[in-house]
């Protein structure tokens, strides 16, 4: 292929494009599109071309520095460092990547036109090799920063504006008189700057620098600018004794962009420039300075091809045909910003269903996918007919494309691969949707508190709490003296714990929920907590219907909103089980029904059950209890001992229950992880179920607790439905002091996900 494509690129008879031995369609398939493919051989060959040309054409010391602004990533920095180039950076960001990539600081040149004292200090700290000073402000900052360096003076360059106009787009001309860059030679600023710098004790001006623009085709223009710098240096030598040790005539050498552009060989450019430098020095009687070139574009442009997937076509008869691709101005702003011209090739989609592909050529305009009329990559190009699914390959895509890429329309930036000998290597992965949120913080730490029969829970929504609160934060928030105060935290709706099939008709996806005790421990299920969460969803997140599923670590439950205002909610809690293995209870597999156990030298008869969490029920109706036995006292005194009986490896909730009639129970509760509590939904389920199992009651059962009554219906298969009131208590924002230890999202972690570790 021609000068516009990476070395060795070829198109085969199947219309497959090969880059570095890799098939473009396979790269696109594997890494997705838009994809930027850099060819390693081209990068190395271009670097070596500069180095070799300098050696051949310039009879004194010389070096090439890569202008990182054209595009930099870690692997590219490593590659150029390995090629022995120096590097030119213009920001702390480029400096950081260059250093990480293995450039010794001494091989870094630092440019810029408005660096703060902090940035300059940072560069000094890092020990960058050369700082090119652009203006008096920077010069004063540097003079102050280096005042106490003693004999170890800081070598700098002065950036000069030589007054040479480059023939290139106005946006990328920098050498003319009317420019923001550098000290103007003509007005005398350059001389004043030199004198000021020579008088600063910590600075040594070792060279001068200019950069007159980019995408310049006339080597003579660049040569003229270099000669101007030398003439200036010669004048300064005779007037002030200035010695020009180093000359940096910048970068700017152009590259062909479309077929009609002439080739721009590096060798002849370097030859013209070197010749001019030698001639100017000779004429002025100066010794040849060290020559430092700074190419950006001409090192990387040709190495990369951008691959896009073709999508929509819009034909406006007699006007224009638009073919849209899946990238555009966010990954390549150059056509929109500089009217830059690109060309392209079609890579036909061989999986295409179209039996007869038309091969006729047509004139089309390649549009990007971004919401701007100006988002046009190529206006009027003749190509074989493009169909959705084809690839479009745009060459000369290595320079100032990715480097200027944005997240406009919140587009993730493309993946970048390096190809060599048939091997692709990912240099930059495609941005993910989570990357787009990586720097974002929610607007506040809101909470919503509800109560249900004396149980109060705080709902923390992942929209405000991207990660579940830490145990310490939970303890503080639930603390009734210090925090908001609650029986627990409900964190959701999050991703459902496992791919559970919702038990609702035409089942919508369940809402995920994680539940936390006030002591920070996590638990599986809570009847009142779940009803509160259902009310929260009803109030804020509007489930599609009055029935919806909630997924917890204790299984799937289905909520029914009975009243339009959400004030009464019933919950299908799943099935009760009396199987000791499911609860769990230690010892041989069995049902634990009225089993005798001695606690604090008192004999009790316990019945154990689970409805996702463990329960231990003691009926206070046999000869071992006084008729008027105080249930609350029993719960408070014996509850904590029963909770931690070795019989219950996961600990247990404890209920003391007195049957009042066939359909009514009275109950006091000791809750695992929470202590004495006024009401509990799963406890009511367990009490009703065990009362039925032991023949004391029949469904439905009303369970009276100090906090209020719950209505429990138990079916023949032991599935339980729980009904009662729920109401909002208050809402607000917790102070950072309460939430302070709650982790904010870190990169890569998906907010709202249920990456839970199994409960101990």
Q: Of the ranges 207-215, 347-355, 568-576, 691-699, which one interacts with ligand LLP (CB under 6 A)?
A: 207-215
Q: What part of residues 372-401 is at the interface with ligand LLP (CB under 6 A)?
A: 400
For 478-512, letters b (16+ CB in 10 Å) and e give: beeeebbebbbbbbbbbbbbeebebbbeeeeebbb
Interface residue with ligand LLP among 129, 249, 289, 296 (CB under 6 A) is 296
Residue 294 engages ligand LLP in binding (rule: CB under 6 A): yes
Check if the beta carbon of residue 243 is closer than 8 Å to that of residue 207.
Answer: no
Find the shortest distance in angstroms from Cβ 111 to ligand LLP.
5
Q: Is 292 or 583 the residue whose CB approaches ligand LLP more closely?
A: 292
Distances (CA, A) of 698 to 610, 687, 691, 716: 19, 12, 8, 11
Distances (CA, A) of 508 to 501, 550, 558: 9, 10, 11
Q: Does 172 bind ligand LLP (CB under 6 A)?
A: yes
Binds ligand LLP (CB under 6 A): choice among 297, 615, 658, 693: 297
Find all residues with CB under 8 Å of 702, minimum gap 6, and list them. Answer: 663, 664, 665, 709, 710, 711, 712
How many residues bind to ligand LLP according to rule CB under 6 A?
21
Least distance from C-beta 160 to ligand LLP, angstroms? 12
By CB under 6 A, is residue 524 in contact with ligand LLP? no
Q: How far is the CB of 253 from ligand LLP (least distance, A)?
A: 6
3-state secondary structure of 714: strand
CA 623-629-631 angle, to 5 degrees, is 120
* Closest approach of ligand LLP to the CB of residue 110, in Å: 10
Binding mask 487-506 for ligand LLP (x = CB under 6 A): --------------------
Query: 415-420 and 35-39: which strand pairing?
Result: parallel
- Regarding 162 and contact with ligand LLP (CB under 6 A), the answer is no
**Pick 251 or 510: Cβ nearer ligand LLP:** 251
**Residue nearer to ligand LLP on the CB measure, 173 or 580:** 173
Q: Which residues contact 601 (CB under 8 A, 6 or more apart)?
A: none
Pick the closer one to ligand LLP by CB: 134 or 671: 134
Give the residue numbers annotated as catalytic, written as ranges.
371
Contact between 179 and ligand LLP per CB under 6 A: no
Is residue 334 at the binding interface for ligand LLP, with CB under 6 A as the rule?
Answer: yes
Span interacting with ligand LLP, options 292-300, 482-490, 680-688, 710-718, rule CB under 6 A: 292-300
| Least distance to ligand LLP, CB of residue 67, Å | 3
322 contributes a contact to ligand LLP by CB under 6 A: no
Among candidate residues 461, 467, 539, 468, the one with its CA nearest the CA of residue 493: 461
Scanning 274-282, 288-296, 432-440, 471-479 for contacts with ligand LLP by CB under 6 A, the matching segment is: 288-296
Answer yes or no whether residue 331 interacts with ligand LLP by CB under 6 A. no
Which tokens go with 268? 């002849």
What angle in degrees, to the nearest 10, is found between the helix axes of 681-693 and 527-536?
A: 130
List the interface residues with ligand LLP, window 59-118 (CB under 6 A): 67, 69-70, 88, 111
Q: Determine phi and psi for 604, rounding to 5 degrees.
A: -125, 160
Site string for ligand LLP, 250-279 (x = CB under 6 A): xxxx--------------------------
- 611 contacts 525 by C-beta, under 8 angstroms: yes
> Whose Cβ is closer to ligand LLP: residue 367's or residue 402's?
402
Segment (H or E) for 307: strand 304-316
Outline where DSSP puts E strands in 219-275: 246-248
Q: How far is the CB of 222 from ligand LLP (least distance, A)?
A: 10
Question: How far apart (Å, rounded) are the C-alpha atoms in residues 237 and 284?
Answer: 10
Which of residues 211 and 721 has its CB atom nearest to ligand LLP in the complex? 211
338 binds ligand LLP (CB under 6 A): yes
Question: 6 vs 250, which CB is nearer to ligand LLP?
Answer: 250
Residue with structure tokens 């089942």? Answer: 507
Contact 314, 321 (CB under 8 A): yes
Peptide bond into 486 cis (omega under 30): no
Stretch that binds ligand LLP, among 37-45, 50-58, 293-301, 550-558 (CB under 6 A): 293-301
Q: Nearer to ligand LLP by C-beta: 172 or 688? A: 172
Q: How far apart are CA 41 and CA 63, in angstroms?
A: 21
- Please tell me the number of Cα atoms within 13 Å of 236 on its side-chain side: 27
Residues 211-250 that bind ligand LLP (CB under 6 A): 211, 214-215, 250
77 or 674: whose CB is closer to ligand LLP? 77
Collapse the DSSP code of 672 into the 3-class scheme (helix H, G, I; strand E, B; otherwise coil) and give the result. coil
**Binding status of residue 298 toward ligand LLP by CB under 6 A:** yes
| Rounded least distance, CB 375 to ligand LLP, Å | 16
| Burial environment of residue 244 by CB neighbours within 10 A (0 to 12, 13 to 18, 19 or more) | buried
The residue ranges that bind ligand LLP (CB under 6 A) are 67, 69-70, 88, 111, 172, 211, 214-215, 250-253, 294-298, 334, 338, 400
């Amino acid at each position: 292929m021609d000068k516009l494509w990476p070395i060795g690129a070829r198109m085969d008879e199947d219309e497959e494009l090969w880059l570095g031995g890799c098939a473009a369609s396979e790269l696109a398939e594997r890494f997705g599109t838009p994809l930027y493919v850099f060819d390693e051989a081209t990068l190395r060959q271009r670097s070596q071309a500069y180095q070799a040309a300098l050696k051949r054409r310039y009879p004194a010391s010389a070096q090439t520095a890569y202008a990182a602004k054209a595009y930099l990533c870690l692997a590219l920095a490593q590659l150029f460092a390995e090629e022995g180039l120096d590097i030119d950076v213009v920001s702390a960001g480029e400096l950081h990547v260059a250093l990480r990539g293995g450039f010794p600081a001494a091989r870094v040149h630092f440019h810029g036109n408005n660096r703060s004292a902090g940035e300059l200090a940072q560069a000094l700290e890092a020990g960058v090799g050369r700082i090119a000073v652009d203006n008096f402000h920077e010069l004063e900052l540097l003079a102050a920063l280096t005042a106490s360096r003693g004999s170890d003076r800081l070598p700098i360059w002065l950036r000069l504006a030589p007054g040479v106009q480059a023939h290139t787009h106005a946006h990328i001309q920098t050498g003319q008189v009317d420019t923001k860059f550098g000290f103007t030679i003509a007005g005398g600023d350059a001389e004043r700057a030199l004198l000021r710098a020579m008088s600063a004790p910590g600075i040594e001006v070792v060279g001068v620098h200019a950069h007159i623009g980019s995408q310049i085709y006339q080597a003579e223009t660049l040569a003229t600018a270099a000669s101007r710098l030398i003439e200036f240096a010669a004048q300064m030598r005779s007037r002030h004794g200035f010695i020009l040790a180093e000359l940096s005539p910048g970068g700017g050498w152009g590259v062909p962009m479309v077929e009609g552009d002439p080739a721009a060989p590096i060798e002849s450019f370097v030859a013209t420039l070197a010749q001019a430098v030698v001639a100017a020095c000779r004429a002025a009687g100066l010794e040849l300075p060290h020559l430092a070139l700074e190419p950006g574009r001409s090192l990387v442009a040709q190495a990369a091809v951008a691959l896009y997937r073709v999508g929509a076509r819009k034909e406006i008869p007699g006007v224009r045909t638009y073919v849209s691709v899946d990238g555009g101005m966010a990954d390549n702003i150059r056509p929109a910003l500089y009217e830059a011209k690109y060309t392209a090739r079609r890579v036909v989609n061989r999986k295409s269903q179209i039996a007869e592909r038309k091969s006729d050529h047509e004139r089309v305009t390649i549009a990007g996918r971004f919401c701007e009329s100006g988002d046009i990559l190529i206006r009027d190009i003749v190509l074989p007919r493009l169909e959705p699914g084809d690839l479009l390959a745009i060459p000369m895509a290595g320079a100032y494309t990715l480097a200027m890429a944005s997240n406009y329309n919140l587009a993730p930036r493309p993946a970048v691969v390096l190809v060599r000998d048939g091997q692709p290597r990912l240099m930059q992965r495609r941005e993910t949707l989570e990357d787009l949120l990586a720097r974002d913080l929610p607007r506040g730490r809101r909470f919503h508190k509800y109560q249900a029969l004396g149980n109060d829970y705080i709902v923390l929504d992942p929209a405000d709490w991207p990660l579940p609160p830490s145990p310490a934060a939970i303890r503080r928030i639930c603390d009734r003296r210090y925090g908001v105060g609650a029986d627990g935290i409900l964190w959701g709706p999050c991703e459902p714990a496992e791919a559970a099939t919702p038990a609702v008709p035409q089942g919508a996806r369940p809402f995920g929920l994680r539940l936390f005790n006030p002591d920070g421990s996590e638990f599986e299920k809570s009847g009142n907590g779940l009803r509160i969460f259902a009310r929260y969803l009803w109030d804020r997140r509007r489930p599609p219907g009055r029935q919806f599923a909630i997924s917890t670590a204790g299984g799937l439950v289905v909520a029914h909103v009975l009243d339009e205002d959400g004030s009464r909610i019933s919950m299908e809690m799943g099935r009760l089980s009396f199987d000791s293995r499911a609860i769990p209870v230690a010892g041989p597999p069995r049902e634990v029904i009225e089993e005798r156990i001695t606690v604090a030298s008192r004999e009790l008869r316990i019945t154990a059950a689970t409805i996702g969490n463990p329960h231990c029920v003691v009926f206070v109706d046999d000869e071992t209890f006084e008729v008027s036995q105080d249930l609350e006292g029993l719960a408070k005194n014996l509850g904590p001992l029963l909770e931690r009986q070795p019989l219950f490896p996961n600990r247990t909730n404890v209920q003391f229950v007195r049957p009042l009639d066939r359909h009514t129970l009275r109950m006091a509760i000791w809750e695992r992880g929470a202590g004495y509590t006024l009401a509990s939904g799963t406890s009511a389920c367990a009490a009703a179920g065990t009362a039925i199992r032991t023949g004391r009651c029949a469904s439905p059962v009303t369970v009276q607790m100090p906090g209020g009554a719950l209505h429990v219906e138990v079916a023949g298969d032991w599935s339980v439905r729980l009904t009662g009131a729920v109401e909002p208590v208050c809402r607000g924002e917790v102070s950072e002091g309460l939430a302070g230890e709650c982790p904010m999202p870190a990169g890569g972690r998906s907010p709202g996900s249920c990456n839970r570790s199994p409960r101990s």
